[in-house]
Structure 1
Amino acid sequence: MRSIPHSSQDPSLPAKPAAAFGWIGFGAVAITTFSLVTGFVIGLLSTASARADTPDNGNNTTTEPAVQAGAEEMAEPGGDVIRKFDVVYDPETGRAGKCDIYLPAPADIAPVNPGSPDPSPKTNDRPAVVVVHGGGWMSGDKWTMYSHCNALAKRGHVVISINYRLAPEHKFPAQVDDVRKALLWLDDHASELKVDLNRVGLFGYSAGGHLSALVAVVADESPEIRQRSSDWAVDDARWDRLPKIKAVCAGGPPCDFRELPPENTSLAYFLGGSRRQVPEIYRAASPTALASTGDPPIHIIHGGDDFLVPVTTSRSFVAALRDQGVECQLTELPKLGHLMTFMDQRTKQTMIRWFEKML
């Protein structure tokens, strides 16, 4: 596969504090309305755009870098996909505990050297990516990620796209624990899915990007710090069963809640109060605050004109990761806002290229 050119942020990012998020002045009604409408539109458009996952023929397609910096069609169409919808990964939470599974078409045993007297079988252990939808932690559904999941599975990845419990009925850290429960389900079913548990990634957009990044960066922390973003006890045996995350890709993620005004209650529906009331929760929910040397490689994709979640929060997160020596990249898509960055083909293709490289 040809490399996909990026319009990436300069590697020498200044470590600046994250700016307050664009939606801090919104009321709860405005946030709810935006999340519901955005989730509905994303779902309709992403399903329709599944046809654009690959070109109509198998020929390579070139693009004009000045016109589509970072864009490229897949070099090959990729294989077929087997889809299984509404599989239960957590029987205790109803629809919130269901996932959709996208499996690459079977290629069970294939000789590496067909002409050799004793050909070696091709391994059946495949990389897996758990995908987390957006929607402001209060709305959205796994089906909105269909196009991204389908394209990723075509490239040989097993994909698990999850629902999770939503705010305000379920506040932080319920959503974080649900991502962990999906990882445990993957651990339990790795053999039948033919997944290599040493090649597991996380991908999410918006709130899903936040949850993906947070689960990854907190994994190497002390039991006491990990427990601050979980309802599991410090000595819960499930901690030791979680697969190690090898790579993360997050689109438009809110990364640092510590910069929100102390009295602002825009996120109280998710975090349980203002930053002044529950400062420890605001920190525990902030991936930037938890950047450390043991974090997995992370690629952030962010729209340059994203006014809902300004790109400065991703720049600061990447700067904090680089200060810790973590391998990371930031791809900025100029002149695109929050929704259009999700829909842009460069987001999907950059994500696929990242996982093909890292997993």
Structure 2
Amino acid sequence: MPLSPDLIALLAPPAPTRLPLPAAAHPAPGVRLLRGAVYSAPTDTRPLELDLWLPDEPQGVLPVIVYLHGGAWRTGTRGEMSPRMRDWQPAPFARLARAGFAVASIDYRLSGEAPYPAQLDDVTAALAWLDARAAELALDTRRMVTWGESAGAHLAALLALTAPAAVSGCVVWYGPADLTTLPGQAPPGAYDPADPSTPEALLIGAAIADAPDRARTASPVTHVTADAPPFLVLHGTDDAVIPLAQGAQLAAALRDAGADVDFRPVPGADHLWAGLPDEDVERCFHTSLAFARSHTTDQGPIGA
């Protein structure tokens, strides 16, 4: 017997924008954390959550950093900014909250759960959730920076380029920029574009060689226009996973389109900032924070 419309409506879960917010934790002095807020409930998969880090006593509405974790689109956790920063005290997200930002660190569907563009759909839905709850949380979603590392940097760039009106800037740490040129930029023999098991192939659901149009669509460089927000691109010169040429290619595409980009190769750094002294990792973080601050201060002050 088919279910009645009333029963179907009763069984439907409430919209994520209407769910109660998580109870606040206080992981560091001056910082409030709402851990595990459901922002989207795709069918046939897990609810998607974000952690929202906030200053305990905000001075007015808060600019927003949307952070996207790495992990080759196959793994990773929204709970940390980068493996090199795992032991920082206070944690990087707490430091950003103390600097006067709201930080939304976001889950998204991994490649084992759904192929691209599910991941971009998810992070776009997170922006909509933040916008819908902005008044409740004292967020200024007109002042928003996307930021990510590796696979998360790829998504941060895509999000900034496909929703530019909502994004004030983008920080890219060693992210893939063009899935079609990546095989040719890797060391000889390191990457087979016909291999269906590479992280990039698993993301788009086919080997890069077999689905070049799909790979182009999933590449940030494809979506660059003159309307792109400002970008900061940091990429290690010794990156053995995502070659420096990917960062250079994204920067060149942005410059050619007339967009604002600051491309900074990081000498001696491998992927995940491996090989960098701790003080240089700190410098990458503070350079990125300064960029976020400079591109979110047009409409009001940010706390120190």
TM-score by length of 2: 0.76
Letter in 1 for 2:71: G
Asked if 1:301 corresponds to 2:253, the answer is no
Asked if 1:253 corresponds to 2:189, the answer is no
Partner of 1:323: 256
The runs of 5 or more residues in structure 1 that have no matched partner are: 1-49, 52-78, 109-123, 221-242
Contact 2:238/2:268 (8 A) holds in 1 = yes
* Inter-partner Cα distance in structure 2 for 1:167 and 1:200: 26
* Inter-partner Cα distance in structure 2 for 1:281 and 1:247: 26
Partner of 2:247: 314
* Inter-partner Cα distance in structure 2 for 1:92 and 1:321: 33
Letter in 2 for 1:82: R
1:96 is displaced (CA, Å) by 5.5
Letter in 2 for 1:105: D
Contact 1:256/1:313 (8 A) holds in 2 = yes
Contact 1:130/1:201 (8 A) holds in 2 = yes
TM-score by length of 1: 0.64
SS in 1 for 2:249: helix
Asked if 1:160 corresponds to 2:93, the answer is no
Asked if 1:102 corresponds to 2:53, the answer is yes
1:340 is displaced (CA, Å) by 2.3
User: Highest relative contact order (Cα 8 Å, sep 6+), 1 or 2?
Assistant: 1
Partner of 1:290: 223
What does 1:191-230 correspond to in 2, within 5 Å? 191-219=135-163
The runs of 5 or more residues in structure 2 that have no matched partner are: 1-26, 184-191, 297-304
SS in 1 for 2:130: helix
Specify whether residues 198 and 327 from structure 1 end up closer, same or farther in structure 2 by C-alpha distance, changes over 3 A only. Answer: same
Letter in 2 for 1:277: D
Deviations 1:44-69 (A, max 9, x none): xxxxxx99xxxxxxxxxxxxxxxxxx
Q: Which moved more, 1:338-347 or 1:148-157?
A: 338-347
Aligned residues: 246
Partner of 1:143: 79
Contact 1:131/1:149 (8 A) holds in 2 = no
1:152 is displaced (CA, Å) by 1.2
* Inter-partner Cα distance in structure 2 for 1:148 and 1:329: 22
Root-mean-square deviation over aligned CA pairs? 2.2
1:294 is displaced (CA, Å) by 0.6
Contact 1:96/1:163 (8 A) holds in 2 = no
Match of 1:268 among 201, 205, 209: 201
* Inter-partner Cα distance in structure 2 for 1:95 and 1:144: 20
1:327 is displaced (CA, Å) by 0.7
